Amino acid sequence: MSIFLNTRLGKNQLTPKQIVSDPILFLAFGFGSGLAKKAPGTFGTLAAVPIYLALAQANSLIVYSVITLLITLVGIPICGLAAEKLGEHDFGGIVWDEIAGLLITLWFVPFSWQATVIGFVLFRLFDIIKPWPIRWIDRKIHGGLGIMLDDVLAAIFAGVLLLLWQGYFTG
**Residue 98 covered by a domain:** yes
Quote the domain boundaries for residue 110: 16-170
Q: Structural domain tally of the chain? A: 1
Domain assignment of residue 5, yes or no: no
Q: Is residue 1 part of a domain?
A: no
Share of the chain above pLDDT 90, in %: 83
Asked if residue 78 belongs to a domain, the reply is: yes
Residue 139 lies in a domain: yes
**pLDDT tens string 29-84:** 999 999 999 999 999 999 999 999 999 998 899 999 999 999 999 999 999 999 99
What is the crossing angle of helices 61-86 and 143-170, to 10°?
140
| 102 lies in some domain | yes
pLDDT score, position 3 = 58
Convert the pLDDT of each residue in 91-109 to its tens digit. 999 999 999 999 999 999 9
Task: Average the pLDDT over 10-38 and give the result.
Answer: 94
Predicted pLDDT at 90: 82
Q: What single-letter amino acid sits at 126?
A: F
Domain membership of residue 10 (yes or no) is no
Comparing C-alpha atoms, which of 98, 118, 27, 108 is closest to residue 65?
108
